Structure 1
Amino acid sequence: MSAADVRVELPDADATREYGRALAGVLRAGDLVLLSGSLGAGKTTFTQGIGAGLGVRGRVASPTFIIARVHPPLAAGPALVHVDAYRLGSLDEVEALDLDTSLEESVTVVEWGEGLLESLAQDRLEVSIERPHGGLDAGAGENLDPDELDAAAGTRTVRIRAVGTRWAGVALPVVG
């Protein structure tokens, strides 16, 4: 892991939100954040923290069915463009969203953007969120851990890879 890469363990959803809020402290207009992780890992929870840290209007929720949602700032600062690329299958569909027109004036956070949207910006943060779901596949009720079923519980491992010169010398938060 280079100096521009960070790995943190976050004990629950609240800590994940707080870490997103801390990360918002180093984000500025033009920044692209690509989130990856399995369903239920905490991508939207993390984005809620970024939204809170940026001080944007509106409830940050998964934009799964509308693909992209813009949250304007409540005061000075950039808007948050929150995108769910899960249903996007090609660069043509990405281009139809016209994200590059708002990229320079907003912080753009894309869930499921890995392998599809890196071309939007040379400088970006690639964030991977892992949350073990071991008990969910067990099948037998007595083997299910209640923390695994509770969306707010469970440790998340967040790895951030800073790509590009924008991030040279920027200290990413290291604790949740």
Structure 2
Amino acid sequence: LSEWETELVVSATCKQLLEMRVRKIVPPFVLTIDEAHRFIPRERSKKSATARILRDLIRRGRHHAISVIVITQYPDSIDKETLRIPCTKFIFAIEPGHLGEMKTLIMDLPEELINSLPSLPAGTCILTGTKDMIQRSIPMKVTSIRRTTHGGVTPDFIKELREFYGSDVS
């Protein structure tokens, strides 16, 4: 697909998903936007209907059980409002040139930790967010190996879909 066609598909799909979720036609869902700087750019000249629709979905979605994961390797190229809206942010190693934008999101961290962002080891990130969700930004290890026997239950996605749509879901 061309860039224009991709934007058309993304904007139409996201607009429909939000409207359908508000009317409870679809179940709660998680939307992942990879390469988000392509769809929600910082430069005003590149802003499009797709950017407006995605910002609206990110802003309103949490009130309707829509979780949005925004992924970019270029935080300085993404719309500033989009960086500030999410309640929880995981910041992994970034290029030194992108530190300026990240500093505004993790001001509570010591300067030496902020400056170490470009050299964070694989599997390490800074967890930060709104003060009502995360009181302080903290470094953390992210691993796929469960180290404890207790904890929350992982939802069975297929089971939830079957309950929502009936047993015809495979």
- Could you state the TM-score of these two structures normalised by the residue count of structure 1? 0.34
Whose strand proportion is higher, 1 or 2?
1
Indicate the structure with greater helix content.
Answer: 2
Structure number with greater CO (CA < 8 Å, separation at least 6) is 1
TM-score (norm 2): 0.35
Higher Rg: 2
